[in-house]
Chain A
Amino acid sequence: MATTQPVYESVLRQALGLPDDQKAQLLEEILQHELGSAAENKRPFLEKLDEALARLKARMRPGVTAQEDPASLQTPGPRRRPDPAPAMEWLRLHGKDYGGQWVALDGNRLIAHGPDAEKVYAAAEADGAYLPLIDYIEPADALPFVF
């Protein structure tokens, strides 16, 4: 929204100008506030906030500089792959209810489902979850598969 942009930029400049310990305190307060009112669909945002807070705290540790700390904001390493086990377990328990559909899962959270793969993928991207598991579930009455 155009009218709030200058306010946002001003707040951002002030926040970025804070010393690291005050930035960490600010992030902590935002995280706690969001956790207090979090709906399940806020999880990706909360995870990113938590990661940012952890990186900032790591940077503040005595003797650790931004270059030395692999978790630094300046040099983020490759992200860890999500554990597929919760999604696999969800599929084992609930997959049969979604026969003939594509599903997108963030762990054991169903992000989207439907017969159109493109729409399910678009919904997963919009959700913001990191590397959701996306797969097609065969209909219960499908003939046995032979390639």
Chain B
Amino acid sequence: MIPMPELSFDVTHIYDSTDGVRIPLVISCGGKEVQTRGYVDCGAEACIFSNEIGRMLNIDIEAGEPKSFGPASGGTLHTYGHMATIEFLGITLESIVYFAKYPGLRRNLLGRNGWLSKLRFGLVESDSAVFLSHLT
């Protein structure tokens, strides 16, 4: 048996078990802010938000850093990266968030770069619980 390392976290969040690991957040960019929700996605390379949220933030989306992603289902998701602030559960991160070029992305994704990479993250799916600490 390999002993489990002892871990401690600053925040616990119980998510809706019928709905996936979704977290309420406030995203700020360019002086505007929007409260919405994002799904934790360990398989996503980066944080990707919908075009609609970018428009609510009044961002010139296509002025950002262009980056294309290859979803598991195939095809290409074209996005543009912008520096943004993401606040959730008492934690604040400055990260590059990629906004979809086109409307219709159903979910905002909190991925590895810019989100998971800045946190200590624990998940107990059977308890619908996530555990988080900001790595400083």
B71 within 8 A of A: yes
* Stretch of B1-9, B50-58, B60-68, B113-121 with 4 or more beta carbons under 8 angstroms from chain A: B50-58
Do A102 and B52 have beta carbons less than 8 Å apart?
A: yes
From known contacts A117-B52, A117-B55, A117-B56, infer whether A134 and B36 are also in contact, taking CB-CB under 8 Å.
Answer: yes
A53 within 8 A of B: no
B37 within 8 A of A: yes
The minimal Cβ–Cβ distance linking B105 to chain A, given in whole angstroms, is 9
Interface residues of B in 22-42 (CB under 8 A from A): 24, 26, 33-37, 41
Q: What is the number of residues of chain B that contact chain A, defined by CB distance less than 8 Å?
A: 28
From known contacts A81-B87, A142-B106, infer whether A132 and B35 are also in contact, taking CB-CB under 8 Å.
Answer: yes
Residues of A within 8 A of B (CB): 81-82, 84, 87-88, 92, 102, 117-118, 121, 131-136, 138, 142, 145-147
What chain A residues lie within 8 Å of B53 (beta carbons)? 134
Residues of B within 8 A of A (CB): 16, 19-20, 24, 26, 33-37, 41, 43-44, 48, 50, 52-53, 55-56, 69, 71-73, 87, 103, 106-107, 109
What chain B residues lie within 8 Å of A147 (beta carbons)? 41, 43-44, 48, 69, 71-73, 107, 109
Q: How far is B37's CA from A29's CA once the two chains are assembled, in angstroms? A: 39
What chain B residues lie within 8 Å of A146 (beta carbons)? 71-73
What chain A residues lie within 8 Å of B16 (beta carbons)? 88, 92
From known contacts A117-B56, A146-B72, A147-B71, infer whether A135 and B37 are also in contact, taking CB-CB under 8 Å.
Answer: yes
